[in-house]
Amino acid sequence: MTTTSNKPNTWFWIIGVLALLWNLMGASTYIMEAYDMVPKAEKLQAFYESRPAWATAGYALAVFAGVLGCVLLLIKRKLAKTVFLISLIGVVMQQAHIFFMSDIVPVLETYEIILTITVLIVAILLVWYSTLCIKKGWIK
């Protein structure tokens, strides 16, 4: 008699915790920016002052949905996938403004552009990973 287990492996927990830490860093950055607790470089001041509300809303949606999605993933709820999709929509909203509707890109440092693109890649990977976890039966 054989039994199969849909118990998540160690990597599930490592990825889940790292993703939660990543999204918590994003949420804390959002909060610090929202309450003007971070000094902004002069080159970024005009960008922040002219950013439309919908782009700021996308930023908030991205980071807070990302945190919630990670919590749902770690408590093994498949709702995590839907919440990660919402987070991805927020990332796309924010980055659409950055890359296509503002003039900030030419003044950004290379590492800032790489970090911005990394945010999109991580958001996509979290949607993919939550889908994989559902298929494997790790989250229900």
Please give the pLDDT value at position 44.
Answer: 82
How far apart, in Å, are the Cα atoms of 93 and each of 29, 49, 81, 96, 122?
A: 17, 17, 18, 5, 15
Give the chain's length.
140
Please check whether residue 80 is in contact with residue 139, taking contact to mean a CB–CB distance below 8 angstroms.
Answer: yes
pLDDT values of the chain reduced to their tens digit, one per residue, 140 residues: 554 568 999 999 999 999 999 999 999 999 998 888 877 777 788 888 889 999 999 999 999 999 999 999 999 999 999 999 999 999 999 999 999 999 999 999 999 999 999 999 999 999 999 999 999 999 99
User: In sequence order, what are the residues at sequence separation of 6 or more whose Cβ sits closer than 8 angstroms to the Cβ of residue 107?
Assistant: 43, 44
